[in-house]
Amino acid sequence: MGLQQPAPLIESRVPQMVHFPRSCLHCETPDCVTVCPTGASYKRAEDGIVLVDEDKCIGCQLCAWACPYGAREIALPHPKAATSDAGRKDSKRGTMQKCTLCVDRIYNETLDERDRQPACVMACPTRARMFGDLGDPDSDVSKVVAERGGFALMPEFGYQPVNRYLPPRPRRDGSEAAATASVPAEEALDTAQLPPLLRWLDKALSR
Amino acid sequence: MKPALSVIFFTVASGAGYGLWCLLGLALAAGIYPLTGTGVLVPLGFGFVLVSAGLLASTAHLGRPERAWRALSQWRSSWLSREGIASLVTYLPMLAVAWFAFTRHAGMSLHVAGAVLALCALATILCTANIYRSLKTIAAWRTRQVLPLYFMFALLSGGLWLWAWLALTTGLAISLAFPLALLGLAIVAAVIKVDHWKCVDTLPVNTAGHATGLDMLGHVRAFEGPVTEESYLTREMAFVLARKHGARLRRIALALFGLAPALGIAVALASDTAWLAPVAALAAIAGLFVERWLFFAEARHTVAAFFPPTQA
């Protein structure tokens, strides 16, 4: 008996909505670090977190260009930045900003241990984000990634992203037929009669 | 990619300046440059203006231009850093050539200074091209034509200015080889640029399914963007204006940097009209501005795939 083809993860033709948060993937070998002319963009040797030293960054934006994941954005100077005192003193002005993996939280010993997690992980109401050590095969995150087939984004760039995305789970109710049946036949809707807000809503939802 | 005026001006103006310095340096090194004294200082100084204006303009692209000096530190990995160093180092042989020209010194040291100037200018152009070529996220800049084109455009635009200076001071009769070489260069550069454009047009476009890794589920499309307003990423990486007028702008660029100099040289030589030389040089610069604008505006960044087509 030959090897079986792996089945598609979700066999469904019902449209499915997936929220897709992007953040820094703290790659192993990222070009955002090597293209930086000042050394402001760096990867920490001890834990691999990719950071920007705002005091060294010249805002050339080459690192943002080098990132395929859209993890970096420049802090554009406020229109009044040049004239106001606060604007001139703003240390972030004109420098590259990115996810820090909340370095100020995850090592903070004044916080309760379970609170030493990035803010996005803490804030997610559905616990869709997880934080842990993927370098340790026995950690909770490593197990979840192995179990659910976590994957790296656009690995062909060779940056070796460290974060993993988990594919969406199959729908719990499963049956495609039921889902299709629950969609009512299209009714005629004269959108011109709708108030502007609903008309916009109709347009947005019909896309 | 958003075409930033500061970077376009920098690559075009400094490119022409380095091309001019390179050819002037080579001619001095080989001992075939027909003029001395002011005849060297004027084109050298014009190259200085082009290079320096470009470098100054490039700092306008920085969020914190007052820290530009920090860019000199990471030469071991960053082409931008290498470019910064190369651009500053090139001033040294330029000053040496200027000194020897000023003191009417024509010995071995002028030949050496000219050769070093040519090498440094070439090294700077190499660094500039590699800044773009090294970005894996922008496929249009990784094609095989990008590096030779940067060299050719620099030598063509700088060379036309040098020829214009020679034509106006010594007349057209003194050298035929140089303008004919420029004519050939204009044609070859135009052919390679057309090849590059063809290449850019056939590059695969990154899809939402591939970018998110969700194409295993079926067809993936972005329902809506992460933000309703523009963001840095949509402004900077998802620039679409050029693709609408691309074909027309390409023809304009080609006519200005390829056809105009080639015709200008041919007509100038045939009819002995020296004033056509600076016109050809100006046309080439104008054409390269359009070409460089398209170089940025037509280049698709990988990250655009994360945004719905209305935003990207």
Chain A hits for B295, CB-CB cut-off 8 Å, are none
Nearest 5 degrees, angle CA B105-CA B28-CA B178? Answer: 145
Query: What does R_g of chain A's alpha carbons equal in angstroms?
Result: 23
pLDDT at B311: 58
pLDDT at A92: 83
Chain B hits for A38, CB-CB cut-off 8 Å, are 67, 70-71, 73-74, 81
Inter-chain touch B232–A64, beta carbons under 8 Å: yes
Question: Which strand (E) or helix (H) includes residue B235?
Answer: helix B232-237
**pLDDT above 60: residue A10:** no
Dump strand ranges (E) for chain A.
41-43, 50-52, 72-74, 96-98
pLDDT at B136: 96
Nearest Cβ partner of A68 from B62, B68, B303? B303
Dump strand ranges (E) for A78-201.
96-98
Mean per-residue pLDDT, B248-271: 96
**pLDDT above 70: residue A2:** no
DSSP 8-state code for residue B139: G
Task: State whether ipTM is beyond 0.90.
Answer: yes
Percent with pLDDT over 70 in chain B: 97
Inter-chain touch B78–A75, beta carbons under 8 Å: no
**pLDDT above 90: residue A89:** no
Q: Per-residue pLDDT tens for B121-139?
A: 999 999 999 999 999 999 9
Interface size A-B, in CB pairs within 8 Å, comes to: 144
- Indicate the pLDDT class of residue B218, thresholds 50, 70 and 90: confident
Mean per-residue pLDDT, B275-294: 97
Inter-chain touch A60–B213, beta carbons under 8 Å: no
- Indicate the pLDDT class of residue B73, thresholds 50, 70 and 90: very high
Nearest Cβ partner of A69 from B78, B138, B303? B303
**pLDDT above 80: residue B309:** no
* Higher pLDDT pick, A140 / B237: A140
Tokens 């006519």 belong to which residue?
Answer: B255
Mean per-residue pLDDT, B212-237: 86
* Higher pLDDT pick, A39 / A184: A39
Inter-chain touch B71–A20, beta carbons under 8 Å: no
* Cβ atoms of residues B150 and B18 within 8 Å: no
The answer, for B87 touching chain A at a CB cutoff of 8 Å, is no
**pLDDT above 60: residue A73:** yes
- Indicate the pLDDT class of residue B172, thresholds 50, 70 and 90: confident
pLDDT at A179: 43
For residue B248, give every residue at least 6 positions away whose Cβ sits within 8 Å of its Cβ, in sequence order, or none. none
Please return the burial class of A49, using the count of CB atoms within 10 Å of its CB with bins 0-12, 13-18 and 19+: middle
pLDDT at A207: 66
The answer, for B81 touching chain A at a CB cutoff of 8 Å, is yes
Mean per-residue pLDDT, A102-120: 95
The dihedral over CA atoms of B128, B133, B135, B136, expressed in degrees to the nearest 10, equals -170
Locate the chain A residue with the closest alpha carbon to B131.
Answer: A35
Alpha-carbon distance B17 to nearest alpha carbon in chain A (angstroms): 22
